[in-house]
Chain A
Amino acid sequence: MGRIVLKDIRKTYGAVDVLKGIDLEVAEGELVVFVGPSGCGKSTLLRMIAGLDRPTTGTIEIDGVDVTARGAADRGLAMVFQSYALYPHMTVRANMAFGLQNTKMAKAEIDARIAEAARMLEIEPLLDRRPGQLSGGQRQRVAIGRAIVRRPTAFLLDEPLSNLDAELRVSMRAELSALHDRLGATMIHVTHDQVEAMTMADRIVVLRAGKVEQVDTPLGLYNRPANLFVAGFIGAPGMNLWAGRAGASGFTLDGGQVLPVAAQGATTLGLRPQHLRLDPAGPLVAQVTLVEALGAESVIHADLAGGQKLLAVLPGQPDLARGASVRFGFDPGHAHLFGADGLRAAA
């Protein structure tokens, strides 16, 4: 239960194409994360799945049934909103019971479900409080609890962690993952935080401007980004992307430096900052402009000849002064090559 299939979902608001044809299959029990820059259509897509909005064209299937025309209530899904959307005038208990009462469920059953969810989320002492008397993290749990008691076929979460402070976000992230494992239900989680996406997801859907850029496992995206956008978007700090051209002797950067990478047809070479290392014999010569020492590692900002920027993350605390000329080397196997169309070059 909880297999969701989207076929060519499009959405236009007036003259604006917000979603431009989205095809996606979410497997039963999978935790899929939608990630992408602000305004790319993540929330819109989630709301289509939820039934709060109708696609302009395209179909949505849940467990093989076309639900495109069905209302939100008849899809068996539960949503956790970014703002939590708890009813402020009801106690936590009443908030959790509200949806169940709509289905005319017996009171004993409602109480049992609330008790179970409250135990799971450790919010038992809060049941008789109002949302206004809870902290952000507690509200978050209640919002999740309200979804859990409905035993939905899938959970839809729209940036549920974005209102929490950094520390709480990390712990809630882990809790949500644990909850997913425990419930075994399908979850679609929206975020624009790529670390959140990487740590939680079974698979990540990278969206940009209403289109799916790539769907893959977190490591799949990291290791084999399908295009320049994904390459730049996934991983922190972002991948170095250098323009140049491929030749017989390797990849020649616009600044003239020749890198020993076999690169037929490529116009951009990508290299993660973590894959660069100091190497007196290395092919990259750069002038250090800034050193950010973080203790365990250091982030080096540098300029290549020709003006392109280089970013390197080096272990420890290398002794580099601003303005110093430094040579970097790398393992050619770590290079990502992209063609003029922005797609990953076959190699």
Chain B
Amino acid sequence: MAQVGAWVGAVITAPLRGFARLLDVPLRVWQRLAGQNGMAAFFLLPNMAIFGIFVLFPLGLNIAYSLTSGGALFLADRNFAGLGQYQRLLTCADYTNLLSCQEDQFWTALGNTALFVVVQVTALIVLATATALILNRELRARSFWRAVFFFPVLLSPVVVGLIWRWILDRNGVLNAGLVAVGLDPVNWLLDRNFAFAAAVGVTIWAHLGFFALILLAGLQAIPRDLYEAAEMDGTRPARVFWRITLPLLMPNMLVVIVLALIRAVQVFDEAFVLTGGGPGTATLFLTQYIYEVGFASLLKNPGLAAAASILMGGVLVVLTLLQLALGRRNERKAKLK
């Protein structure tokens, strides 16, 4: 059996080896010409090319679009507008009344997103921490519960949105249940506050497992003896949490907070499928605003959408840099230990 395996392996690797030998000569020549660092650049090239084509180039294109106006699709057909689109986004006659803004929808989306970020991230962090603490206990069927909490993470966001729409819809499962027990159906998703709460709740449900998992990993890295030492010292559970668990969980916690912030700023798919931004503009978030202005509305304005996405991108860059900085700090601390 093992011999057959070795034989098959040899057959498979033979052409590879031949190919490698073929490449050997030009590579050697190239290395002599380019030096060791040149070789590194050479090997990085494919990846950099992909990054360039799919990230850098679109980014540049986006910036270019944000400086143009009109409805034309191709850049060559568009009029240069300078910072006009940014101006349009940010100008208000009276900054205390957002309805007076030129793009009041942008401001509504911005306000909704800001509220969403604060509420959703706070609730998500608290719930994920609580979940991780519970899953870290010696529960019966612990693996089962871990799977249950992680399962929604595996679902496509659209599926998540659909599931919950089926539940919360006027003719949905929840109302069917209410009717069955003799209550009046409620039009959940047509209530502004409830729709917003649903967007918060559903995105939490969908992401909770992911963040709880990161926190759980952090909790499991805390040595049990520390808790036993605290127990010998007669430490109350609340003090154990605040003085031992939380500080030692901080590296993971910071990562979780920043990732949750980034995701919350980007909120779109689940919420859009669930509420479509409504009722009215109650759950209109920035990404949806950009999508509609750029692609979906009758008066498509790619320039405006591009400008809005650059502004949003700025926020995300700040958050990402924060995360990288935290990551580096954690690494340094880990080395100190």
Contact = CB atoms under 8 A, between A and B. Distances in A.
Interface in A76-122: 77-79, 81, 83, 85-89, 98-99, 102-103
Interface in B212-252: 223, 225-226, 228-236, 239, 243-244, 247-248
A52 B232 contact: yes
A81 B229 contact: yes
Contacts of A81: 225, 228-229
A52 B233 contact: no
Contacts of A146: 229
Contacts of B226: 85, 87
A83 B228 CA distance: 12
Contacts of A79: 228-229, 232
B235 A50 contact: no
Interface in A142-161: 146, 150
B234 A98 contact: no
Most chain B beta-carbon neighbours within 10 Å: one of A71, A78, A102, A146: A102
A167 interface: no
A87 B239 CA distance: 13
B298 interface: no
A133 B337 CA distance: 7
A339 B232 CA distance: 45
Contact of B232 (A77, A87, A89): A77
A73 interface: yes
A87 B244 CA distance: 7
Given A98-B243, A132-B336, A132-B337, A85 B235 contact: no
Contacts of A85: 223, 225-226, 228-229
A100 to B, nearest CB: 8
Nearest to B247: A89
B233 to A, nearest CB: 3
Interface size class of A (residues with CB under 8 A): 20 to 34
Contacts of A71: 231, 234
A72 interface: yes
B337 A103 contact: no
A78 B235 contact: no
Contacts of B235: 73, 98-99, 102
Interface in A55-74: 71-74
A99 B234 contact: yes
Contacts of A89: 247-248
B232 A102 contact: no
A78 B337 CA distance: 26
A85 B244 CA distance: 12
Interface in A37-66: 50-52
Interface in A221-262: none
Nearest to A84: B225
Nearest to B231: A72
A73 B337 contact: no
A166 B213 CA distance: 41
A88 B248 CA distance: 8
Nearest to B250: A89
Nearest to B226: A85
A87 B248 CA distance: 9
Contacts of B231: 52, 71-73
B168 to A, nearest CB: 44
B81 to A, nearest CB: 54
A79 B226 CA distance: 12
A102 B247 contact: no
Given A87-B226, A87-B244, A98 B336 contact: no
Contact of B225 (A83, A99, A103): A83
Most chain A beta-carbon neighbours within 10 Å: one of B230, B233, B239, B244: B233
Nearest to A152: B232
A102 B237 CA distance: 11
B172 to A, nearest CB: 47
Interface string B124-138: 000000000000000
Contact of A50 (B232, B243, B247, B248): B232
B225 A102 contact: no
A78 B233 CA distance: 8
B140 to A, nearest CB: 14
A51 B231 CA distance: 9
Contacts of A103: 234
A98 B225 contact: no
Nearest to B236: A102
A102 B239 contact: yes
A73 B232 CA distance: 5
A86 B231 CA distance: 13
Interface in A15-35: none
A64 B239 CA distance: 32
Nearest to B246: A89
A305 B233 CA distance: 60
A83 B234 contact: no
The 10 closest A-B pairs by CB, nearest first: A73-B234, A99-B233, A85-B225, A85-B229, A132-B337, A89-B247, A81-B225, A72-B231, A102-B234, A79-B232
Given A78-B232, A98-B230, A150-B233, 6 more contacts: A72-B231, A73-B232, A73-B235, A74-B234, A81-B228, A88-B337
8 contacts: A50-B232, A52-B228, A73-B235, A81-B228, A83-B225, A99-B233, A132-B337, A150-B233
